[in-house]
């Protein structure tokens, strides 16, 4: 839900905890995985150096020559009785060595998988997030492209059609569950330069980044001991890379917004330790007909209009924003559905459902979306 640029650091930190988990008993999993000192070995892994031609459904699947990959679903849905929910279901893959895992028939593997699952229950005033780790062997976790599928134990996404533009999501943890069908209503979007999305100025410090920015969504959400029939809209991000953030990056803010005028906006802001914004920050504007236009940091203004302090981690997050994109005549105000949507997992970050109001070409619009905030509770310095 990565978001939704979820950058390399989160997955790297989780990878250490995940590998620890895969080789020891679950009871021994540390409360928080250690961060590395900048010496992650990327020898032999492919790098995102230039635009490529994508083929589907194969490119929905795993890219084992690259070190890091994720499949990120977020959405806003509503029940027939008006109950409103946000959700996140994300699958991460981390390659310990380059190449696909050998089909040994056992539990040996060079692939670690993680998954995050969260539901924001607005009427219940509750946000809950959980995580799982597993090795990519023995049927415990994995991914494929034809047909498109990703899973970790019984959490899964699986294609409902040949090109992977329609999927079913399923996840359950205790009394929290979702079972949803998603169908893309717009063509897939390739962010950046034909899908090559820079994360810093260094060669290869980029990802291949694809999205279905509007997916009609129907199914059920279970919360508060009740199962609700719901409908709404979802957003899907898929990124793969072998790259790093510069040591001067302390965190990032990511926004995925679906507007009532039929447009979508993705914005990502990489925050530097000197208070400036990394120059490769920016985003993508998607028109109602599916045409996409990238923009850089100097084309968008994002300003926080409030703050929220976590009572658990004491992290102070921005909570409410204005976004101005003058070239598109967009002026937006974004508010969290709940302030307390912190993901208190092995790596702490804020990821939550938001509402949008504002103007487009001078006319009033509304919308929904998701926002991700990292580096407010956990420093990114020294990761990789």
Query: With DSSP H G I counted as helix, E B as strand and the rest as coil, what are the percentages for the chain, rounded to 5?
Result: 5, 50, 40
Q: What is the CATH number of the domain that holds 124?
A: 2.40.370.10
Q: Could you read off the pLDDT of 244-276 as tens digits, one per residue?
A: 677 788 999 999 999 999 999 999 999 999 999
DSSP letters spanning 48-112: --S-----TTGGGS--TTSSEEEEEEEEEEEETTS-EEEEEEEEEEEESSSSPPP--SSS--SEE
The stretch 330-350 carries a mean pLDDT of 96
Query: CA 178 to CA 170: how far, in whole Å?
Result: 6
Q: Read off the pLDDT band of 138 (50, 70, 90).
A: very high
Query: CA 193 to CA 8: how far, in whole Å?
Result: 19
Q: Read off the pLDDT band of 40 (50, 70, 90).
A: low
The stretch 7-11 carries a mean pLDDT of 41
Do residues 8 and 244 touch, judged by C-beta distance below 8 A? Answer: yes
In a domain, 307, yes or no: yes
In a domain, 381, yes or no: no
In a domain, 329, yes or no: yes
Q: Could you read off the pLDDT of 59-117 as tens digits, one per residue?
A: 999 999 999 999 999 999 999 899 999 999 999 999 999 999 987 678 889 999 999 99
In a domain, 2, yes or no: no
In a domain, 74, yes or no: yes
In DSSP terms, which residues pair with 374 in a beta bridge? none
Query: CA 227 to CA 225: how far, in whole Å?
Result: 7
In a domain, 206, yes or no: yes
The stretch 174-194 carries a mean pLDDT of 97
HSE, CB side, 13 Å, CA atoms: give it for residue 216. 4
- Strand, helix or coil at 168? strand
Query: CA 85 to CA 244: how far, in whole Å?
Result: 34
Task: Compute CA distances 363 → 88, 356, 360, whole Å.
Answer: 31, 14, 5
pLDDT at 188: 98
In DSSP terms, which residues pair with 69 in a beta bridge? 93, 240
pTM over the 0.85 mark: yes
Which tokens go with 203? 């060669």
Going by C-alpha positions, the residue among 206, 239, 244 that lies closest to residue 48 is 206
Number of independent structural domains in the chain:
1
Domain span at residue 39 reads 8-373
List the alpha helices (DSSP H) in the chain: 8-23
In a domain, 31, yes or no: yes
In a domain, 112, yes or no: yes
Going by C-alpha positions, the residue among 354, 347, 341 that lies closest to residue 129 is 341
């Amino acid at each position: 839900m990565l978001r939704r640029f979820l950058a390399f650091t989160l997955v790297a930190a989780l990878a250490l905890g995940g590998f620890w988990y895969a080789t020891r008993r679950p009871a021994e999993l540390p409360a928080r995985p250690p961060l590395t000192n900048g010496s992650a070995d990327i020898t032999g892994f492919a790098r995102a150096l230039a635009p490529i031609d994508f083929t589907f459904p194969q490119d929905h699947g795993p890219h084992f020559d690259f070190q890091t990959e994720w499949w990120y679903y977020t959405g806003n849905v509503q029940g027939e009785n008006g109950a409103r929910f946000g959700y996140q279901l994300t699958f991460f893959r981390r390659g310990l060595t380059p190449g696909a895992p050998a089909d040994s028939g056992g539990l040996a593997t060079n692939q670690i998988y993680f998954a995050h699952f969260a539901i924001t229950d607005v009427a219940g005033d509750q946000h809950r997030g959980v995580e799982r780790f597993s090795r990519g062997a023995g049927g415990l976790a994995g991914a494929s492209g034809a047909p498109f599928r990703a899973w970790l134990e019984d959490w899964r996404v699986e294609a409902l059609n040949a090109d992977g533009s329609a999927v079913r999501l399923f996840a359950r943890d205790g009394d929290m569950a979702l079972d949803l069908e998603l169908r893309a209503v717009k063509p897939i979007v390739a962010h950046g330069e034909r899908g090559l999305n820079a994360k810093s100025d260094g060669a290869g410090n980029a990802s291949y980044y694809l999205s279905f920015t509007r997916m009609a969504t129907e199914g059920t959400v279970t919360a508060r001991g009740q199962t609700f029939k719901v409908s709404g809209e979802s957003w899907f991000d898929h990124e793969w890379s072998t790259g790093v953030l510069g040591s001067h990056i302390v965190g990032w803010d990511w926004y995925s917004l679906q507007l009532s005028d039929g447009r979508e906006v993705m914005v990502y802001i990489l925050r530097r330790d000197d208070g400036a914004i990394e120059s490769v920050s920016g985003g993508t504007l998607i028109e109602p007909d599916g045409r996409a236009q990238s923009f850089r940091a100097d084309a968008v203004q994002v300003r926080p209009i409030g703050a929220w302090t976590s009572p658990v981690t004491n992290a102070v997050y921005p909570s409410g924003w204005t976004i101005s994109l003058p070239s598109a005549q967009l002026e937006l105000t974004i508010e969290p559905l709940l302030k307390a949507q912190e993901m208190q997992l092995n790596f702490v970050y804020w990821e939550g459902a938001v509402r949008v109001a504002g103007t487009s070409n001078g006319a009033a619009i509304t919308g929904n979306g998701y926002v991700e905030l990292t580096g407010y509770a956990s420093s990114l310095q020294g990761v990789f």
